[in-house]
Amino acid sequence: MPKRKSSDIQIGRRELVVLLALMMSLNALAIDAMLPLLDEMARDLAVVDENRRQLVVGVYTIAMGVGALLPGSFADRFGRRPVILTSLAAYCALSLISAFLTDFEVLLWVRGITGVLCAGLMVMPMTIVRDIYEGDAMARLMSLVSAVFITVPVVAPSLGAAIAAVAGWRFIFVGLAVMGGVAATWVWFRLPETLTEDNRQHIDVPVIVRNMRLALINRQAVGYVFGAALLMGGVFGYVNSAQQLYQDFFGVGAWFPVLFGGTAAMMAFSSLVNSRIVMRFGARRVSHAGTLMFIVVSATQVWSSYAHPGNIYWFLPLMSVNLGLLGFLGANFSSIAMQPFSTIAGAASSVQTFFRMFGAAMVGVVIGQAYDGTALPFAWSLLGTSVAALLLVLFSERGVLFRRLHQVPQSTVPVR
């Protein structure tokens, strides 16, 4: 490709939102498109243990969390674009390799390597948004990105099932590689470099450790980072066990992709609503109210699991509300946690994404492996993680909820 100066590029806010959402969506697609096909993959690769097939998802999410520690510091030195393009190249190559594997253990290793090398696709969008905005304006833009990004879990299971029905599950990986190539081309020609020269950091281990430590020990940030990890852990537990819950426990059969996508659609809708209201009410007020409501709905989910076991007409609406409430939590929690770190946004995004994603992935795997043929372990996990998240938020806020801090939005890069 010809040499491209990112300083010559200007990108509109709408295009930026869609591009950042596409980058994040590639990892989500690599997870959710697999869900309807875990049975078929397990048969072809001779996997006997039913819970073990979940590791196709669980290993990827854990590795992505571990890998999140790497890209931020490099992005603070060399820029956002090189890190993103490197991640996309790895995504394309490893997806193609996965399509030809015949051993389940090797597939898990490749999935793990893919998760590590492609973690930049989760770290960089938040870094770029922090480069451009701050405060509630940052939360608003991340909500818009999330609203687009979350459409992927809505369609991914159906897309995966459709591809597998026509050409087999291996062609899902080919499709991932093609989408990665499209994203790389778009980034190359349209994404400006958002790291300013003044904020470039040295690749120096003490500097990296210092920056990451600052991003983690800040009281305003730490409760929101770990609180988000717990809430996301409940979602990952849902993703890990969704196929067994819907098809084995509730017996919905071929309706699984539709029902799973329908619940995920609530997150996209609420993220869009959040983008409309967060500037008016503030990220703190919205997310605090959402956390309290999440606890109430989760408690109702526990009750219904005892009072109406196996009744999907109770489970499905409550799950939809839970996921809908997450649209008022994820982007706001992340934005509040990133607010203090304008000069070390890459390192801060890396360390926070690591604890958020790795923590969530580990919690999700534990929840998934606890599946016992009923919805009870999952219901209790939602309640426990949401109560713990509230306590962490209270720590960061020194026991006072619903405060609003006023910030002035900033724009330092060529976004028109």
Q: In whole angstroms, give the CA distance from residue 257 to residue 243.
A: 9
**Comparison of pLDDT for 51 and 19, the residue scoring more:** 19
**Residue 298 in this model has a pLDDT that exceeds 70:** yes
Q: 279-283, 293-297, 300-304, 313-317 — which is least confidently predicted?
A: 279-283
Within-domain flag for 311: yes
Number of domains making up the chain: 1
Q: Are 151 and 22 in contact (CB under 8 A)?
A: no
Q: Tell me the pLDDT tens digit for each residue of 324-377.
A: 898 888 888 888 888 877 677 777 777 888 888 788 878 888 888 888 888 898
Written as six digits, the tokens of 46 are 């001779």
Within-domain flag for 404: no
Confidence bin at 3 (pLDDT 50/70/90): very low
- C-alpha 370 chain-centroid distance: 22
Q: Tell me the pLDDT tens digit for each residue of 45-78.
A: 888 777 777 788 888 888 888 888 888 778 888 8
Residue 36 DSSP class: G
**Residue 412 in this model has a pLDDT that exceeds 50:** no
Range of the domain at 283: 7-192+204-396
Within-domain flag for 151: yes
Within-domain flag for 408: no
Q: For residue 411, what pLDDT is reported? A: 41
Q: In whole angstroms, give the CA distance from residue 182 to residue 177.
A: 9
Q: In whole angstroms, give the CA distance from residue 185 to residue 174.
A: 17
Within-domain flag for 410: no
**Residue 196 in this model has a pLDDT that exceeds 80:** yes
Q: Are 277 and 336 in contact (CB under 8 A)?
A: no
Q: Are 197 and 78 in contact (CB under 8 A)?
A: no
Q: What is the DSSP string of 60-105?
A: HHHHHHHHTTTHHHHHHHH-HHHHHHHHHHHHHHHHHHHTT---HH
Scan for tokens 């087999």, then name that residue.
168
Q: What are phi and psi of 334, to 5 degrees?
A: -65, -40
Q: 178-192, 336-350, 402-416 — which is least confidently predicted?
A: 402-416
Within-domain flag for 211: yes
> Rounded to 10 degrees, what is the CA torsion of 26, 29, 18, 341?
-60
- The stretch 105-115 carries a mean pLDDT of 93
Q: For residue 396, what pLDDT is reported? A: 92
- Give how far Cα 141 sits from Cα of 132, 178, 260, 269, Å: 10, 27, 26, 15
The tally of CA atoms less than 13 A away on the side-chain side of residue 147 is 17
**Residue 228 in this model has a pLDDT that exceeds 80:** yes
Confidence bin at 416 (pLDDT 50/70/90): very low
Q: Are 152 and 31 in contact (CB under 8 A)?
A: no
**Residue 198 in this model has a pLDDT that exceeds 60:** yes
Q: In whole angstroms, give the CA distance from residue 176 to residue 260.
A: 20
Q: Tell me the pLDDT tens digit for each residue of 146-166.
A: 766 666 766 777 777 788 778
Q: For residue 294, what pLDDT is reported? A: 95
Q: For residue 9, what pLDDT is reported? A: 62
How buried is 301 (Cβ within 10 angstroms: 0-12 exposed, 13-18 middle, 19+ buried)? buried
Within-domain flag for 49: yes
Q: For residue 382, what pLDDT is reported? A: 92
State if pTM tops 0.75. no
Q: For residue 291, what pLDDT is reported? A: 95
Within-domain flag for 402: no
- Give how far Cα 281 sits from Cα of 330, 340, 362, Å: 16, 20, 33
Q: In whole angstroms, give the CA distance from residue 227 to residue 283.
A: 15
Q: Are 219 and 123 in contact (CB under 8 A)?
A: no
Considering the chain, what is the average pLDDT of its residues? 83
Q: In whole angstroms, give the CA distance from residue 171 to residue 162.
A: 11
**Maximum Cα interatomic distance, the chain, rounded to a whole number of Å:** 64
Domain of residue 55, CATH code = 1.20.1250.20
Q: In whole angstroms, give the CA distance from residue 225 to residue 122.
A: 15
DSSP reduced 3-state for 11:
strand
The tally of CA atoms less than 13 A away on the side-chain side of residue 337 is 34
Residue 293 DSSP class: H
- The stretch 273-285 carries a mean pLDDT of 86
**Residue 2 in this model has a pLDDT that exceeds 60:** no
Q: Which of 111, 8, 105 is nearest to 49 (CA)?
A: 105
**Residue 23 in this model has a pLDDT that exceeds 70:** yes
Q: Tell me the pLDDT tens digit for each residue of 213-222.
A: 777 778 888 8
